[in-house]
Chains A and B, each alone.
Chain A
Amino acid sequence: GQSLEQPSEVTAVEGAIVQINCTYQTSGFYGLSWYQQHDGGAPTFLSYNALDGLEETGRFSSFLSRSDSYGYLLLQELQMKDSASYFCAVGVTDKLIFGTGTRLQVFP
């Protein structure tokens, strides 16, 4: 089976940097993805790591270490609009299995 673990909630202030960790146990791993979901909205794709290392997309970066079954999403220069839930997800054959999500609250 597959399991993913994330912190349930993280708080930070505007302008700060926050890191959301994800540990996973899975078989047939094809990559780690991150999605953002605002309240009442649909999940939207943020980033994907197929290989170990850091992927950077603007203010967001994602990291993967296959040997440690671990990844993280790094959000820099936090803005109020970044308040949302963030989900890590592992690709297993032709499907995506999601973690429980981390609710990020950004305060002024």
Chain B
Amino acid sequence: ETGVTQTPRHLVMGMTNKKSLKCEQHLGHNAMYWYKQSAKKPLELMFVYNFKEQTENNSVPSRFSPECPNSSHLFLHLHTLQPEDSALYLCASSQGGSSGANVLTFGAGSRLTVL
């Protein structure tokens, strides 16, 4: 495995379900990120983890709960989502820091549909 791997690639869930998105990076990077990409909107930064410590929570609703057990793995736990949460969720990693954060390696994304 190389790069940044995200699973599942596609997920359909009801509003009462609980599911998790997983991200794994094999690049030896120190920082990991969750972005949300909706149609006709810019990529929205959700969470930032540096050395597995959360350094950014961009006013994300509590129905999204991140977890970073180590520098290589990042999860996004989902519960009681709304249809407007349907989007492509992208995980990324970088060397971290102020300059390293400019060069992100993205995973292929998890396409989430909330019914």
Report which A residues bind B (CB closer than 8 A): 4, 30-31, 33, 35, 41-45, 48, 50, 87, 89, 91, 93-101
Contact = CB atoms under 8 A, between A and B. Distances in A.
B41 to A, nearest CB: 7
B107 interface: yes
Interface string B4-34: 0000000000000000000000000001010
Secondary structure call for the B interface: mixed
B109 A98 contact: no
A3 to B, nearest CB: 10
A8 to B, nearest CB: 9
Contacts, number: 65
B98 A93 contact: yes
A94 B109 contact: no
Contacts of A33: 102-103
A94 B103 contact: no
Contacts of B33: 95-96
A2 B33 CA distance: 18
B55 A94 contact: yes
Contacts of B41: 100
A2 B55 CA distance: 18
